[in-house]
Amino acid sequence: MTTSASQAEPRNRLSAITNGGTATASYVRCLLPVMEAAGWTADTFCNLLGIDRELLHDIDARLPTGLISKAWDIAVEVVGHHDLGLLASSYAPPGALPIVDHIAANVPTIFDSLRSFARYYRLCDDETVLSCEAVSEGIALQFRSPTWCRQSRHGAAFLVGLVVGRIRHWASNVAVNPLVVTFQEPAPLCGTALRTMLNCRLVFGGRTTSITFGYSTLALKLPDASLCLGRVVSRHGEAAIQQLGPGGRFTDRIRRSLTDMLAVEAPQIVALARKAHCSVRTIQTRLKGEGTCYEDVLDNVRCELALQYISDRTLSLTEIALLLKYSEPSSFYRAFKRWTATSPRDYRRLMMSVLEGDASDDASPSCLAPKGSPGWADS
């Protein structure tokens, strides 16, 4: 291969690209095999970026997001592969994301794993914000993509590949598929590997990039998870999150505050404003600016917690209603049926049948026919 002048001389050294946040060096390390397959040596690539090759092999190393964006721009230009994002994600195996991988791999179910991604992913990337949102088909892990990812459609496919690949690995089941994956970007001209790898319905031109899993898939256990190890690593993760400060969108800060509030008191916007040292109007205005409102954020937090609590058979449905600070169990029942199109009791039965292997992987509570108008009963 003939080395061009642009390859031979380092440009935009690391010290010149320091604006913005930082992210794990894994985002660039996974590009090395791809670049080598295209005829570039790792040393040439790192020299062009102005970094030491050894830095990329430090699992705790972080790089400025501007430098990560530059690395991906070079890879797109050199490789020209329509499925570069998915290809790169295959070179960032489970364990490559410090702390986050160890927490998300050692929780009871796929749903808990998604929640761990949403909670702790900031430890890998200052700019990427993940959140679990209740949708009609299940739970969607939504990405608010960082600058380096928005500048290239390959970045979104890379992040999706990271999550889906890990879920399948930890569930010890390559047949675990999302129901739908939505991309903000328009449909690519090619890229058949995207459909083959994800094996689900793809939507392009969406409001955000997201991965939606059905309710039965969310209930699947991670067979090799060590819950004891997960609790230990989670404590380190929480300490690291606290050191980072609030961060993220205002909506995500309110979500975290409401989650904490529900553990001790009924969620009232006046009390939330007092804790946040701002006015009720400020909360409403800032949430509106991000396309949501207080009632919707609270509803999503309650839905996420409800799905977590209902997997615990030691909790009665009445106790779950109390934990979510509903004034009466019937209010919880109506909300749960609105979220999942079925009752809490039927959802719990379906989830147990999935765990015991009696339901198909495509099953979801919405496929169950409502059984009249059941009264409230603990199960």
Do 256 and 343 share a domain, yes or no? yes
Domain count within the chain: 3
Instruction: Kindly state the helix (H) or strand (E) to which residue 124 belongs, with its residue range.
Output: none
By CB atoms closer than 10 A (0-12, 13-18, 19+), residue 47 is middle
pTM of structure: 0.71
Asked whether residue 360 is domain-assigned, the answer is: yes
Tens of pLDDT, residue by residue over 206-245, are 888 899 999 889 988 899 999 999 999 999 988 887 776 6
Grade residue 148 by pLDDT with cuts at 50, 70 and 90.
Answer: low
Asked whether residue 235 is domain-assigned, the answer is: no
Do 205 and 296 share a domain, yes or no? no
CATH number for the domain spanning 339: value is 1.10.10.60
| Higher pLDDT pick, 8 / 55 | 55
Do 55 and 115 share a domain, yes or no? no
* Secondary structure (DSSP) of 275-330: HHTS-HHHHHHHHHHTT--HHHHHHHHHHHHHHHHHT-TTS-HHHHHHHTT-SSHH
Give percent above pLDDT 70 in the chain: 82
Asked whether residue 45 is domain-assigned, the answer is: yes
Task: State mean pLDDT over 350-363.
Answer: 56
Do 34 and 116 share a domain, yes or no? no
pLDDT of residue 14: 37
Do 31 and 75 share a domain, yes or no? yes
Do 130 and 172 share a domain, yes or no? yes
pLDDT of residue 66: 84
Tens of pLDDT, residue by residue over 270-310, are 998 888 888 999 999 988 887 789 998 899 889 888 988 88
Task: Let me know: does 283 contact 302? Beta carbons within 8 Å.
Answer: no
Do 53 and 116 share a domain, yes or no? no
Asked whether residue 375 is domain-assigned, the answer is: no
Tens of pLDDT, residue by residue over 316-348, are 999 999 999 998 999 999 999 888 888 899 888
- Write down which residue in 80, 110, 139 finishes a domain: 80
Give percent above pLDDT 90 in the chain: 33
Do 341 and 302 share a domain, yes or no? yes
Do 126 and 206 share a domain, yes or no? yes
Asked whether residue 237 is domain-assigned, the answer is: no
Asked whether residue 89 is domain-assigned, the answer is: no
Do 19 and 64 share a domain, yes or no? yes
Domain extent at residue 303: 248-367
| Contacts for 291 with CB less than 8 Å, ≥ 6 apart | none
Asked whether residue 240 is domain-assigned, the answer is: no
Do 104 and 76 share a domain, yes or no? no
- Write down which residue in 80, 115, 133 finishes a domain: 80
Asked whether residue 288 is domain-assigned, the answer is: yes
pLDDT of residue 146: 57
